[in-house]
Amino acid sequence: MADGSVGDVHAAGAGVDLSPGARRLVRVNGRVQPGEVVVVVTDPTMRRYAEAVAAAAREAGGAVTVCIIPLREQDGQEPPPPVARAMAEGAVIFSPVRISITHTRAMRAALEAGARVCMMTAYTDAIMTSPALLKTDFEAQADVCHRLGASFTEGESVRLTSPRGTDLRFGIEGRVANVLTNIPNPGELAPVPDIEVNVVPVTGSAEGRLIFDASVPYLGIGILVEPIVCAVRDGAIVEMTGGAQADFLREHLESFGDPHCFNVAELGVGLNPNARLTGEMLEDEGVMGTIHIGIGTSHTLGGEIVAPTHYDLLMWEPTIAVDGRVVQRDRQVLV
């Protein structure tokens, strides 16, 4: 854990000014106020982004602590206990880390304590300077996010289809949608710049077929060369086929020896009009005209399953029906 003063940050040798993106994260998304406790959690590979955000937060009057943790071995690995304690005391948290700490008990505890969290997992210069961050009117998108979220929260069942042949059904009765406007209130996550609404299927309820044709922005997989086809029974993926990318992902998940890694944990809908498919998680998952299915841990999103992993797989041109009513078709929200 460290705390020190830094100035405006430019990419070493690259001439990329990270300050505009950092200021937007701090002022528009994090809404840091003078005197607020700001905790920036980073690892040695992502310190440039941490320093940029820390400088912008100090400029806004925040009381900033930067916590440098060892690079995690896998997504969902807990941060060290002293860092978890610092997170629990933060009013605003920024997490520029290479490997995700979002689906952890430490993050859940920070949210329960009222933190506003801006997730910055695997940030790159491209994301930090992207129109998805710098040009998007996050407040303007909030209304459509809340309307779609209300449809999920009030609904009992979902059917997801796509032109490629996806046809998945699952229950959502009793689930509360996560509305990620990227202007978080206390206790909320903001995976900036990924504007999305997501909901957790009732555990064990998902049945059908999934065909992913956009990206898997984890593990270096990125934009898909050929579709990944998944059979789903009793709430979990029971078969995963396709090309080399599908084989790599399946073998990685099998290596944990935990069937929960294949749990259908989330349906997420991308709602950032300026996001582009790049193979980078926090931009891909906000692309309008895509949805993602999260597999693995659902606990952080409001479910019951705790797994060693949580990865999202994306497809194009979804149609989503809640209780028989179409609420999303391709890029258009119909509620």
For 71-94, write each residue's pLDDT tens digit: 998 888 999 999 999 999 999 999
**Residue 323 or 1, more confident:** 323
Q: pLDDT digits over 135-158, tens only?
A: 999 999 999 999 999 999 999 999
C-alpha to C-alpha distance for 287 and 62, rounded to whole angstroms: 31
- Residue-level pLDDT at 319: 98
- Helix (H/G/I), strand (E/B), else coil: 45: helix
Write the DSSP string, 6-40: ----B-TTT--B-HHHHHHIIIIIS---TT-EEEE
Average pLDDT over residues 186-200: 94
- Residue-level pLDDT at 300: 80
Are 87 and 79 in contact by the 8 Å Cβ rule? The answer is yes
- Residue-level pLDDT at 331: 87
Lookup: tokens for 266:
């989330």
Residues 6+ apart with CB under 8 A from 242: 226, 227, 228, 229
- Residue-level pLDDT at 8: 38
> Does position 111 have pLDDT exceeding 80, yes or no?
yes
- Helix (H/G/I), strand (E/B), else coil: 84: helix
- Residue-level pLDDT at 14: 54
> Does position 11 have pLDDT exceeding 70, yes or no?
no
Average pLDDT, whole number, for the chain?
A: 93
Lookup: tokens for 93:
């948290």
- Residue-level pLDDT at 196: 94
Lookup: tokens for 279:
């193979």
Average pLDDT over residues 108-127: 95
Which ranges of the chain would DSSP assign to H, the alpha helix?
19-24, 47-59, 81-88, 105-112, 125-128, 131-134, 138-154, 244-254, 281-284
Write the DSSP string, 94-150: EE--SS--SSSHHHHHHHHTT-EEEE-TT--HHHHT-HHHHT--HHHHHHHHHHHHH
